[in-house]
Chain A
Amino acid sequence: MSTNEKAISSSNSVKSFFAKIVRNQLFIPIAALLLLIIFNFAADIILHADTSFFKIVLEPSSTGNMVLSGNLITIIDNASELALLAIGMTLVTSASGGQDISVGATIAIAGSTILRIVKGYSPDISGAKFAAVIIGAFLLSVIVSALFGAFNGALVAYFKIQPMVATLILFTAGRSIAAWINNNDNISINDTRFGYFGNFIPGIPVPTPVFITIICIIVIALVLKFTNLRLYSQAVGINASSSRLNGINPKTIKLLSFIILGICVAVCGLIKVSRTSSITYAVIANNIEMDAILAVALGGNNLGGGKFNMTASVLGAYVIQFLTTTLFRMKVSSSAISAYKAIVVILLIIMSSPFIRKWLADRKNRRLAAKAGSNVRKEVA
């Protein structure tokens, strides 16, 4: 009898352990990541009979310095912009209960601003002077994109327009404004030093965007740790009017979240234009808003606002990039990729929808009730 009970309790504890893992917000992105890794591994062995996908080699790049290369490095490198956007988008989602769909267009604006400043300087100026120019251009682009973020935020917070509709304005006009900043010229910077931020710094084998992203993640982690930003934005997202009664100004918090997103966008803009040293207004950061929203959703955050988990969002961004690379590897053309991603989005939303959760909970309750009922009947018998 006692052993029986023990077995039941141990099986229950195992069950509850698994339930805990499944209920953890990090479960979905980590599971998706594992799934993708297993899939790629299997595809590698079946199709190519080796594991070239996961190989990382140290080899000389086109400019002659030794760099790490391989699919995994590419994924971590290319996901930098997405991870940065996911940070800002998570805050916006949490505080305002909506998403900013103008991020791609604002990246174009930020990049265009940087190029406008940098193009005026000849490539033979000294290192210190060049650094000053870059820092100045970057700070200006931070101010510009924070202003555009504040514009979105003001529409959302003070005029109570739904975030997605308010940001629709910049979604349409943003790329045009970016083109207008540079008179629609095709600018390319010849200075190789400008490419350091998006590619490699000589002597360092890891791509620079990785470092930039790590710095930003540390900064946001410290901010969330030592300030009330997390608490306030969650409170505003869950119930704006009761948080107002508790002394938080929901309008300021919403505005702040959009401004933080604007700053993240400026960093993305720097990385993006530095990667190619040039800009194409219609194409730069195309469809990235979809990926950023997808990263937030994949992190298990409620798209209707409220509680959030920053780690899960950032992890989600890397999973998205992994998915994109995998799709490229399956020889899906770059323009058709959006169709596959749309299917993933729909599946994710269906899984995380309150309707399905309620249905699952109902089923579980019914099963428990049936079990309890049978136990009662047994005892009676």
Chain B
Amino acid sequence: MSINTPALNGKSLKRRSSYTDTNLLLIITIAVFIVMYVCAVVFLKKGFTKPQMFFNILNENASLLVLSCGMTLVMITGGIDISVGQVTSLVCMACAVHLEQNGGNVFTSILLALGIGLAFGIVQGFLVAYLEFQPFIVTLAGLFFAKGLTTIISSDRISVTNEAFVKLCRYEVTIPFLGSVNKKGIFIPAYVEIGVVVALVLVVLLFCMLRWTKLGRNFYAVGGNNQSANMLGINVKLTKFLAHVLCGLCAGIGGYLFFLHACSGSPLHAQGAEMNAIASSIIGGTLLSGGVGNIAGTLFGVLSLSTIKMIVTSLGFDDPWWTNITVALMLCIFLLVQSVILSRKNKTKK
């Protein structure tokens, strides 16, 4: 009996610690999303019962989803990137000017978007990883640089009229068997925009990368403990650099998806997107201290964030300030939950 007790204790400890990690946060996020959506369907009804409502959430937030995925990667390595929102704005503006005034085509505009994202990722990653600056300061400077650059390119809104591009914007992927019947009794199938497909493919790719490749495991190792990762023979600097480069690339792709959705470039695009991306990652269970996080959680983080925005708007608080306050409140709550979980985890370790 006395021999068995420590073993049992060890087992229970192990189980508890596995729950306090990613799983608990992920379960909370999924539960929050499902409860919120069900409540919206039951109490609000206004369109929430239609499948198209769900797909509209995806349509509007495809770019946010990609940005959040990039943010999650950086946050897993223990960094942060607050420049993504303004990079999105810069990409929209640069592509719009490229298509409208420089006579570019769709293919070169995609290359331009990826190039801008990569450039920001490489420079910021180099400064953070190899010159060891605080990621927050570097990316804050990146944010203001992108902001200034956007207005230097053009301070007005530019709508895109390029035929091929507009066709791509309007392209709808219909979803079989899902849809609603309108008043005349005609079945309207649900649809998603092409950006959603790209975003979801990227989510799957990044999920697999984090879970099954060496690079993905390195991200977790570096974020969990810098020094022990170094001792294990992981190139810590290169890993951090790659995380920032991938985040920059995601910002480029996310920027192009935003461009596809908005079909225009404007200095006011994607205001506060970095905040939403950070909030989605945190709600999705990524710890700010690094080492813990999950792309699947981020997906649900984005979904719950956009659902609560939708609910706030449909409750009649359509002023944009209400959504800001709600997002901040939600971020605050999840930060507190994280902090409590972390301090409990430290206690169990001791």
Contact = CB atoms under 8 A, between A and B. Distances in A.
Nearest to A184: B319
A161 interface: yes
B321 A349 contact: no
Interface in B279-328: 288, 319-322, 324-325, 327-328
A342 B155 CA distance: 19
Contacts of B335: 155, 159, 161, 165-166, 169
A62 to B, nearest CB: 29
Contacts of B138: 346, 349
A173 B333 CA distance: 14
A101 interface: yes
A60 interface: no
B87 interface: no
B141 A337 contact: no
B80 interface: yes
Given A164-B136, A304-B134, A342-B145, A173 B325 contact: yes
Contacts of B325: 173, 176-177, 180
A165 B288 contact: yes
Interface in B217-239: none
A338 B155 CA distance: 14
Interface stretch (B4-12, B146-154, B247-255): B146-154
A318 interface: no
Interface in A286-335: 287, 290, 293, 297, 303-304, 333, 335
Contacts of A162: 136, 288
B131 A356 contact: yes
A346 B127 contact: yes
B324 A160 contact: no
B62 interface: no
Interface stretch (B165-173, B178-186, B336-344): B336-344
- The residue among B143, B148, B325 with the most chain A CB atoms within 10 A of its own CB is B148
Contact of A343 (B143, B145, B336): B145
B132 interface: yes
Contact of A160 (B132, B149, B342): B342
Contact of B275 (A161, A171, A345, A350): A171
B263 to A, nearest CB: 23
Nearest to A163: B136
A380 interface: no
Contact of A169 (B80, B137, B332, B340): B332
Contacts of B339: 159-161
Nearest to B328: A173
Nearest to A101: B140
A279 interface: no
B278 interface: yes
Given A173-B324, A304-B134, A354-B132, A338 B144 contact: yes
Contact of A165 (B80, B127, B140, B148): B80
Contacts of A171: 275
B131 A355 contact: yes
A184 B127 contact: no
A157 B110 CA distance: 45
A376 interface: no
Nearest to B327: A172
B104 interface: no
A175 B140 contact: no
A99 B321 CA distance: 25
Contact of B321 (A101, A184, A290, A335): A184
A297 B329 CA distance: 31
A103 interface: no
A64 to B, nearest CB: 37
B343 to A, nearest CB: 7
A68 to B, nearest CB: 32
B144 A287 contact: yes
A170 interface: yes
A304 B332 CA distance: 24
Contacts of B140: 101, 290, 293, 345
Contacts of B332: 155, 169
A350 B132 CA distance: 10
B121 interface: no
Contact of B141 (A164, A177, A180, A342): A342
A193 to B, nearest CB: 31
A287 B141 CA distance: 11
Contacts of B147: 335, 338-339
Contacts of A342: 141-145, 148
A173 B20 CA distance: 30
A338 B148 contact: yes
Nearest to B321: A176
B151 A303 contact: no
Contacts of B342: 160
Contacts of A99: 136-137
Interface in B155-202: 155
A353 B145 contact: no
A355 to B, nearest CB: 5
Interface string A24-41: 000000000000000000
Given A176-B324, A350-B131, A353-B132, A336 B288 contact: no
Shortest beta-carbon contacts, A-B, top 8: A339-B148, A176-B321, A173-B328, A342-B145, A159-B339, A335-B151, A338-B144, A176-B324
17 contacts: A155-B332, A161-B288, A169-B328, A169-B335, A176-B322, A177-B321, A177-B325, A333-B155, A336-B152, A338-B147, A338-B148, A339-B149, A341-B144, A342-B143, A346-B127, A349-B141, A355-B130
Given A176-B324, A342-B143, 13 more contacts: A162-B136, A169-B328, A172-B328, A173-B327, A184-B319, A333-B151, A335-B147, A337-B148, A338-B148, A342-B141, A345-B144, A349-B133, A356-B131
